[in-house]
Amino acid sequence: MRDWVLILAIGFGVFGNWVCGYEAEFHFNTTEVVAFLEESSASAANPLIVGLTLIPGAAAKGAVCLDGTLPGYHLHRGFESGANSWLIQLEGGGWCNTIRSCVYRKTTRRGSSNFFEKQLAFTGILSNKAEENPDFFNWNRVKVRYCDGASFAGDTEDKALLSGCSAGGLASILHCDEFHSLFPRSTKGVAKNLSPTCTSQNNPTSVVSSLTAASADPHGAWKACQKNPGNCSPAQMNFFQEFRNQMLDALKGFSMSKENGLFVNSCFAHCQTERQDTWFADDSPVINNKAIALAVGDWFFDRSSVKETDCPYPCDKSCHNLLFRS
């Protein structure tokens, strides 16, 4: 049986066998602000709303949040042809990497289920609408909440898709083999989704934040570029393009396998699988007229080979518009 791995990293998707990644988070994480704005936007689109379930038996196994509260998940049951298929989405949110940041994190939804939203909007790869999520809309879809600060690494007719965003993407890498072991050998596929970890985050703002911290940029030469890629100088854009070229070079060997897939797009949107506007909408980013949702489905179901690489930013108009719409 072939192992499946689905990875969406730095604005693109990579689907295949073993890729390693790392993501660090400091005291404040701009992703939190972006996530809040995205969730607010999603609420206006009348999405499916799914309630929270806490896990009573978790405490006995030591599987708890940073503050010792119970972990939880949101589940929407599958139906018809998807009734026996499962998609597990691991929530992201960076890491806490110091005592101070972890203590602070315990006072937020990233460290305590006391602060979890009681309901979440299921959009993108979690949507139950065929027109929004054509291949996985009727699967059992689970959003696992993230509250340990370390990518969940703290202490049948079978199909399965393990996915995750940001730190949840790294968690999908760390736990893919364990997840795979839970299923019979006849399981059609086990996949994991990383969005993004291998190179910090999938937009220049985050790359700038990671590579040009205040201590490395005492004169603030990158501040304008960090706030808006449209303000980047030619030299700064060349820096990002070289960053992209190095990543594509690193993927060459990986892409040779016919079992692996790639969807490398140049958009500045975090967690593209969870956002309806980037996953599958009329104006979603596309490569060769194919959105991420269709690329993932074609790869997972063996409908076609998926080896898609976008042109460098800012040549892709849909991606450029997405930046200013977000």
> What stretches of 27-98 show up as alpha helix (H) in DSSP?
30-43
Q: What are 254-290's pLDDT values in tens digits?
A: 889 888 888 888 876 778 888 898 899 888 888 988 9
Same domain for 79 and 195 = yes
How many CB atoms neighbour CB 46 within 10 A?
Answer: 8
Q: How many helices (H) and strands (E) does the chain have?
A: 10, 12
Whether 105 and 234 map to the same domain: the answer is no
Look at strands 6-9 and 159-164 and give their pairing: unpaired
Domain end: 144, 166, 199, which one? 199
Mean pLDDT to the nearest integer, 70-93: 96
Are residues 129 and 178 located together in one domain of the fold?
A: yes
Last residue of a domain, one of 154, 171, 199: 199
Cα dist. 186→1, 2, 156, 180, 183 in Å?
Answer: 7, 10, 8, 11, 8
Question: Among 87-91, 188-192, 304-308, 311-315, where is mean pLDDT lowest?
Answer: 188-192
Q: Is residue 133 part of a domain?
A: yes
Query: Is there a domain that residue 221 lies in?
Result: yes
pLDDT band at 75 (very low <50, low <70, confident <90, very high): very high
SS3 79: coil
- Write out pLDDT tens, residues 219-242: 888 888 877 777 889 998 898 889
Q: What domain count does the chain have?
A: 2
Flag whether 187 is in a domain.
yes
pLDDT of residue 166: 84
260 φ/ψ angles, rounded to the nearest 5 degrees = -95, 155
Residue-wise pLDDT for 185-217, tens only, equals 666 555 544 333 333 333 444 444 555 667 778
Does 270 share its domain with 135? no
Specify if 21 maps to a domain: no
Cα separation, 136 vs 87, in Å, equals 8
* Residue 117 pLDDT exceeds 70: yes
Q: What is the pLDDT of residues 129-155, one digit of tens each?
A: 999 999 999 999 999 999 999 998 875
Please state at what angle helix 204-211 crosses helix 234-255, rounded to 10 degrees: 100
C-alpha to C-alpha distance for 76 and 71, rounded to whole angstroms: 17
Asked if residue 2 belongs to a domain, the reply is no
Residues 319 and 245 in one domain: yes
Kindly tell me if the per-residue pLDDT of 42 is higher than 50: no
Same domain, 221 and 194: no
Q: Which of 149, 172, 199 is the last residue of a domain?
A: 199
Are 226 and 172 found together in one domain? no
pLDDT at residue number 146:
96
Is residue 24 a part of any domain in this protein? no
Residue numbers of the domain that contains 178: 45-199
145 part of a folded domain = yes
Measured distance CA(222)–CA(214) in Å, rounded: 9
CB 275 within 8 Å of CB 284 = no
Indicate if 54 and 191 belong to the same structural domain: yes
Q: Catalogue the long-range contacts made by 285-290 (C-beta closer than 8 Å, 24 or more residues apart).
A: 285/310, 285/316, 285/318, 285/319, 285/322, 286/318, 287/263
Tokens describing residue 256: 């040779």
Nearest alpha carbon to residue 94 among 7, 200, 11: 200
Residue 209 covered by a domain: no
* 96 lies in the same domain as 157: yes
Tell me whether residue 197 is exposed, middle or buried, using C-beta atoms within 10 angstroms of its C-beta: 0 to 12, 13 to 18, 19 or more. Answer: buried
Please measure the distance between the N-terminal and C-terminal CA atoms of the chain and give it in whole angstroms. 40
**Which H/E stretch holds residue 277?**
helix 276-279
Q: Which amino acid is at 193?
A: N
Confidence band (pLDDT; 50, 70, 90) for 45?
low
Res 311 pLDDT > 50 = yes
Q: What pTM does this model have?
A: 0.62
Contacts 24+ apart (CB under 8 A), 312-317: 312/241, 312/244, 312/266, 313/229, 313/240, 313/266, 313/268, 314/229, 314/266, 315/266, 316/265, 316/266, 316/267, 316/285
Q: What percent of the chain has pLDDT over 70?
A: 72
Query: What's the angle, vertex CA 307, arms to CA 304 and CA 311, rounded to 5?
Result: 135
Residues 246 and 174 in one domain: no
Judge if 245 and 192 occupy the same domain: no
- Shared-domain flag, residues 189 and 221: no
